[in-house]
Amino acid sequence: MDRLQLEHSEVDQVNRLLDRHADELWPLDTEEALHRAAVLAHQLPERTQDRVAAFRLEQTSGVLCISGYKVDQDRLGPTPSHWRDRPDRSPAHREELALVMLGSLLGHPFAWATQQDGRLIHDVVPIKGHEHEQLGSSSEALLTWHTEDAFHPLRGDYLTFACLRNPYAAATTVGYADHLDLPDGAREVLMQERFGIRPDESHLAKNNSEPGMDAFDDINEMQRNPDLVAVLFGDPAQPYIRADPYFMIVPDGDQEAQWALDALVKAMDNAMFDMVLDGGDFCFIDNYRVVHGRKPFTPRHDGTDRWLKRINLTLDLRKSRSARPVAAVRAIH
Ligand SMILES: O=C(O)CCC(=O)C(=O)O
Ligand SMILES: [Fe+2]
């Protein structure tokens, strides 16, 4: 994992940029604001731009954490009890803008019509009743490692987090795909289209406010009948990964595929390590090179819980053009 510790002068530079443009870039989820943020991102400290470019060019590990920014906890107020509770004027607008600008150095923010009601910026907070689910909003159960939105061919190239607070140091888990200790023959099998990945819980109609939306028809179809895909791809010696074992199946009778998948799970379980995000950390995860999850923790549900902002990034908006109603809409339907 790579860490960039911002110096005081660099934090000042970021804050001045936010001071100057926070009002102008409200709301943040419009095409105009995203365009403007991408231009302003070139005023971020040069060392930050340099490290993000190195990360994009795969010269560094698949995880980059930028630390040193200070979050004004009083301005934030209490952690919401549900992502739906986002107020019109987000108290974390500065951190959201910082995340969008940093992300714009890497790729293009996009959303899913079928996740968190199509919002571009997600809130990751523990939700009462979700404690034991396989969801970002779970807490007491291990969130098993996964590629973000692994089931979908248009999944993001990167996943980004801004940590607003994490008072009990709940650990995100991370594992690299390119150094796995796999038994002979497993790698070859994992590179073949022999694995089905069903949509994860966050895309199900029951976890959104408009369950009748057409976009859920496609999700339901992928649920019933997932395409068979490869789990490893690219360079066999340093492969990319697409996996979410909790939601995966192999066709009946394909014992070799099941063996290879089991071997992958075992190898990755052994390779996972903890990454504790703290308030003010901005974290970038390469969704092709790295899988992630989260260790269990005990939520408080009293307004002081862990709170992350999350944005998906793609390197290529054109790939999803036919799945977005107009070019200026970033939500994939
Ligand atoms: O809460 C975390 O650290 C990670 C949760 C997660 O997998 C996600 O938000 O995609
Ligand atoms: Fe995730």
Query: What one-character-per-residue DSSP string does 156-193 give?
Result: -SEEEEEEEE-TT-PEEEEEESTT----TTHHHHHTSS
- Return the pLDDT at 179: 87
* Residue 95 annotated as part of some ligand binding site: no
Q: Which residue puts its alpha carbon closest to atom 7 of ligand 1?
A: 293
- Return the pLDDT at 317: 96
ipTM: 0.98
The sign of the dihedral angle between the CA atoms of 78, 81, 86, 92 is positive
- Return the pLDDT at 327: 87
CATH classification of 2-332 is 3.60.130.10, yes or no? yes
The band of 190, judged by pLDDT with boundaries at 50, 70 and 90, is: very high
Ligand 1 nearest atom to the CA of residue 306, by list position: 1
Q: What is the mean pLDDT of the chain?
A: 97
Distance 103 CA to ligand 2 centre (A): 17
Domain locations in the chain as residue ranges: 2-332
Fill in the DSSP letter of residue 16: H
Distance 150 CA to ligand 2 centre (A): 9
- Return the pLDDT at 212: 86
The band of 24, judged by pLDDT with boundaries at 50, 70 and 90, is: very high
pLDDT tens sequence across 118-162: 999 999 999 999 999 999 999 999 999 999 999 999 999 999 999
Distance 124 CA to ligand 2 centre (A): 10
Phi and psi based region of residue 234 (left: phi greater than 0; alpha: psi -120 to 50; beta: remaining): left
The band of 88, judged by pLDDT with boundaries at 50, 70 and 90, is: confident
Give the ligand at the shortest distance from the Cα of 275. 1
